[in-house]
Amino acid sequence: MLLLQLAFKYTKSQLLKPSYLLAVFSFSLAISLMLVSLLVMSAYEKTFEKSITKFLGQIQISYLSPKVSSLNILNYLKIKNINIKKTSSFIHQEALIVKDGNVRGILLEGLAFFEKNSSQFFLKKTLKNYDNKNFSKDRYAAYVPTLLMKDMSLKLGDKFSTVVAKSIKKSSFSRKVLKFYVKGVLDFGRSDYNRRYLLTSFKALQKPLGLSSNKTSGIRLWLKNKNLSKKISLDIQNYFQGSVSSRHWRQWANNLLEATKSQKKMIFLVLLIILIIAAFNIMSALFILIVQKTKELSILRVAGLSSKSIYIVFGLKAIFTGVLSLILGFAMGYLWAYLFLLIQSRYFSILSQIYKLNHLKLGLPLSDMLTIIIVVLFLVLLTAIIPIYRAGKNSLLEGLSHEL
């Protein structure tokens, strides 16, 4: 307890010294730079993963043969004892959206029970129930993403049409015009999805295109253990041997995610060097303290305090400094991160142009947070070894006669 009190006393006495405060600030600044870099990179990885898996699932299986259905897939999963969190069948149809002379290529997605579960699909706003009665029975509800709404000058309740290929032959194809109205506005969190996908119900595509009630384009799977998605996707692909196309979520963005991991490691190493340099300021501040307290330490040794106890006192002092730097560093890091996201969202469009994301949700994995804490505490103890060793080995005679 005495050793802890001494360590706290020495830390408190240095808080009034500009040199010590400058050393702690520079070390905290280096910590904040490392934190904000890991925060942004981790937030990108997490947001990118969520933008894919929430809509397209962890595994997407498209049927290439009319003999394959969702029943075959589910039976296979049951036989293999694969734990499924949820499934969703879909109808996938390429189309052209037409309104007031504007034409754009889109992907029509018909989803099972979509009307009841539309809130799960990034719904921002929707028409009230009484507004839906203004449309004919052959005009179906559609949920349009934000950027497509802007590109086509659409608003809630607007009518529009889409043109799809009903049948394709070698020399010709027949087309079908599908009528819709904007019932809801979506935001997928990704600029490419917000310009491409248009969601509607099964009924809106099955009836006009003459599809049977059990005819779908494929099924999406969400696993209880997402880490198994790659293995299970390959197993399904091999088992059905060309009758299906099975893709796991990382295949949609594998290059970007791998590049992000490499960038994260390189940034960490560069900032680690900066952190090491900043840690030497802590060592200098500890040297100054030991020189100033030489006489006091000698008196304590005469009173019975051992060299080992002095090592412990200044070791605790270094840890206190590390904890103080961590608190300041984390506070500044989160502040820089929020400022960065605010500035880039208002004045730049880096996320949407390069990474296809509209926004990021900040969040640091526990492993990254523990890494920063361990590295910081290790560095302050490492740089404190030489000053601590000197404090314990000072000559008593020299210490008692020491004058500042």
Mean pLDDT of the chain: 80
Does 101 share its domain with 192?
Answer: yes
Asked if residue 296 belongs to a domain, the reply is yes
φ/ψ bin of 59: left (φ > 0), alpha (ψ from -120 to 50), beta (otherwise) = beta
Cα distance between residue 381 and residue 325, in whole Å: 13
Exposure string of 134-148, with b = 16+ CB inside 10 Å and e = fewer, is ebeeebbbbbbbbbb
Is the same domain home to 106 and 188?
A: yes
User: Which tokens in the block code for residue 114?
Assistant: 């979509």
Higher pLDDT, 117 or 274: 274
Q: What mean pLDDT comes out for the span 371-377?
A: 91
Domain-ending residue, one of 171, 206, 223: 223
> How confident is the model over 302-325, as pLDDT tens digits?
666 676 777 777 778 888 888 889
Distance CA 8, CA 13 (A): 9
Name which residue leads in pLDDT, 101 or 223. 223
Would residue 130 count as lying in a domain? yes
Mean pLDDT across 86-101: 85
pLDDT > 90 fraction of the chain, expressed in percent and rounded: 12
Q: Is there a single domain that holds both residue 175 and residue 303?
A: no
pLDDT at 404 over 70: no
Q: Which helix (H) or strand (E) holds 123?
A: strand 123-126
Q: Are 274 and 30 in contact (CB under 8 A)?
A: yes
Query: Do 48 and 112 belong to one domain?
Result: no
Predicted local confidence at residue 170, as pLDDT: 52
* Predicted pLDDT of residue 119: 47
One domain for residues 265 and 383: yes
pLDDT digits (tens, 9 = 90+) for 263-295: 888 988 999 999 999 888 888 887 777 767 666
395 and 280 assigned to the same domain: yes
Q: How confident is the model at residue 45 (pLDDT cuts 50, 70, 90)?
A: confident
Per DSSP, 353 falls in state I
pLDDT tens digit sequence for 190-231: 888 888 889 888 888 887 777 777 788 889 999 988 889 999
Per-residue pLDDT tens for 229-240?
A: 999 999 999 999
CA–CA dist 62, 269 (Å, integer): 42
Residues 123 and 165 in one domain: yes
What confidence category does residue 93 fall into, taking pLDDT thresholds of 50, 70 and 90? confident
- Count up the domains in the chain and report the number: 2
- Containing 297, the helix (H) or strand (E) segment is helix 294-302
pLDDT at 396 over 60: no
Structural domain harbouring 193: 84-223
| 177 lies in the same domain as 111 | yes
Q: Is residue 14 part of a domain?
A: yes
Q: Decide if 149 contacts 159 (C-beta within 8 A).
A: no
66-75, 117-126, 365-374: segment of lowest average pLDDT: 117-126
Residue 378 located in a structural domain: yes
In Å, what is the CA distance from 184 to each residue of 62, 131, 156, 232, 267?
27, 12, 7, 35, 41
Q: Are residues 275 and 377 in the same domain?
A: yes
The band of 399, judged by pLDDT with boundaries at 50, 70 and 90, is: very low
């990474």: which residue's tokens? 355
pLDDT in tens, 164-187: 876 555 555 677 888 898 888 888
Closest CA to 277 of 33, 8, 7, 101: 33
Other C-beta atoms lying within 10 Å of the C-beta of residue 129 = 7
For 389, phi then psi, to 5°, come to -60, -40
- 27, 34, 110, 288 from 22: Cα distances, Å: 9, 19, 61, 13
pLDDT per residue over 4-32, tens digit each? 777 767 677 767 778 888 888 888 999 99
Q: Are 327 and 261 found together in one domain?
A: yes
- From 94-108, 239-253, 316-330, 351-365, the region with the lowest mean pLDDT: 351-365
Q: Are 58 and 229 in contact (CB under 8 A)?
A: yes
- Is residue 250 in some structural domain? no
What are the distances in angstroms from CA 316 to CA 13, 28, 106, 128?
Answer: 15, 18, 63, 63
> Could you tell me if 338 and 396 lie in one domain?
yes
* pLDDT over 90 (residue 52): no
Q: Is residue 267 part of a domain?
A: yes
